[in-house]
Amino acid sequence: MTMTQELELDDTDRQLINLIQLDFPLDLRPFRTLGDQIGISEAEVIDHLKRLTDIGVIRRIGPILNTKGLGGASTLVAMRVPEDAIDRVVSRINDFDEVSHNYLRPGAYNIWFTVSASSKERLHKMISEIKAFGYPFLELPVTRLFKIGVKFEV
Amino acid sequence: MDDLDLKLIKLTQDGIDLVPDPFKEIALELAIPETEVIDRIEALVERGAIRRFGASIGHRVLGIVANAMCVWNVHDDRVEEVGAVMAGFGEVSHCYERMRCPEWDYNLYAMIHAHTREECERTAHDISRATGISDYIILFSEKEFKKTGVRI
């Protein structure tokens, strides 16, 4: 992939990426603290992070929310949608703000999306609306959690 | 969680600004001291409303372009043990047990990230060998229609 070659991450980039996924410092001058940790200035940290954001390596620095911890409810849905209807159906599904991920996958069920709603009632309502699209449908809520990411070592 | 917490999450969920004092603007908006912004974020992490506060990585850009959802049919008695083994694999970013459906026997889900599909397949194979579970399918993501993360 040429894309990865063009990225040219330097050691500082790598250090920062590995550091700020799990241990972003929560203090008044977080980028100064990061700089202190790896021996560069606050301004340099900010420059590196801006570039990494521009090229898409960093999507955002912020809270990764836990639907359940917020009192909400979530599930995974698999749907069997005929190929000629995929675009239309996907765009209707994605219109819901509560849909956080949506992928095309091979196999009998081809559209796979996760829904995170503010309450069980809201989730239930959404599921009924999506069921009304009329396609075969699996509702697959989590019953046990073994691992939730995600730190990518670079 | 009160209204301020909710506003705080809404103000930060799309990312804080890359400026020396990123919490200052948020504090002004919420009319609370900057230190309270930080205390509230820490409390939300403590209570589990926020899993972690940090960077979300665009792994595709890093060349980690193969993304497989591997689904396994594991006997209920073995789920705890097998789930723990799967979670131990570095290539597995997420591992859950999910409800079975009448038409869908698979109950364990492992999300595998790697540079190539072959690497994903190899990892699935290694997991199969390590656990003795042979009833599984690998569903690669062929297209990403949406990925926003959980938002409120």
Query: Do residue B135 and residue B72 come from a single domain?
Result: yes
**Residue among A22, A55, A105 whose CB faces B142 most closely:** A105
Query: Do residue B115 and residue B85 come from a single domain?
Result: yes
Number of domains forming the structure of chain B? 2
Nearest to A59 by CA among B18, B113, B23: B18
Tell whether B61 is covered by a domain: no
* CB–CB contact A105 B21 (8 Å): no
Which segments within A33-154 are labelled E, that is strand? Answer: 58-65, 73-79, 99-104, 111-117, 137-140, 142-147
Q: How many CB atoms lie within 10 A of CB B54?
A: 22
Indicate the pLDDT class of residue A67, thresholds 50, 70 and 90.
confident
Tell whether B146 is covered by a domain: no
Tell whether B59 is covered by a domain: no
Is the predicted pLDDT of residue A5 greater than 50, yes or no? no
Is the predicted pLDDT of residue A27 greater than 90, yes or no? yes
Minimum Cα–Cα distance from A56: chain B residue: B58
Tell whether B145 is covered by a domain: no
Tell me if B97 sits within 8 A of A144, measured CB to CB: yes
A–B interface: beta-carbon pairs under 8 A: 232
Is the predicted pLDDT of residue A6 greater than 80, yes or no? no
Tell me if A65 sits within 8 A of B50, measured CB to CB: yes
Minimum Cα–Cα distance from B87: chain A residue: A147
pLDDT at residue A22 in the model: 87
Tell whether B52 is covered by a domain: no
Mean pLDDT across A134-139 = 95
Structural domain range at position B34? 3-46
Is the predicted pLDDT of residue A17 greater than 60, yes or no? yes
CB-count burial class (<10 Å; 0-12, 13-18, 19+) for B21? middle
* CB–CB contact B51 A62 (8 Å): no
Find the CATH number of the domain harbouring B129: 3.30.70.3460
- Rounded-to-integer distance, Cα B149 and Cα A142, Å: 17
Query: Do residue B24 and residue B77 come from a single domain?
Result: no
How do residues A75-129 score in pLDDT, each as one tens digit? 999 999 999 999 999 999 999 999 999 999 999 999 999 999 989 999 999 999 9
Query: Do residue B35 and residue B75 come from a single domain?
Result: no
Tell whether B148 is covered by a domain: no
Average pLDDT, chain A: 92
Query: Do residue B79 and residue B124 come from a single domain?
Result: yes
Tell whether B35 is covered by a domain: yes
Looking at the DSSP bridge assignments, the partners of residue B108 are B72, B97
Is the predicted pLDDT of residue A150 greater than 80, yes or no? no
Query: Do residue B41 and residue B71 come from a single domain?
Result: no
Structure tokens at B138: 């690998």
Q: Does residue A20 sit in helix, strand or coil?
A: helix
How do residues B27-38 score in pLDDT, each as one tens digit? 999 999 999 999
Query: Do residue B29 and residue B73 come from a single domain?
Result: no
**Residue among B65, B83, B148 whose CB faces A144 most closely:** B83
Query: Do residue B135 and residue B76 come from a single domain?
Result: yes
Tell whether B55 is covered by a domain: no
Query: Do residue B133 and residue B75 come from a single domain?
Result: yes
Query: Do residue B130 and residue B81 come from a single domain?
Result: yes
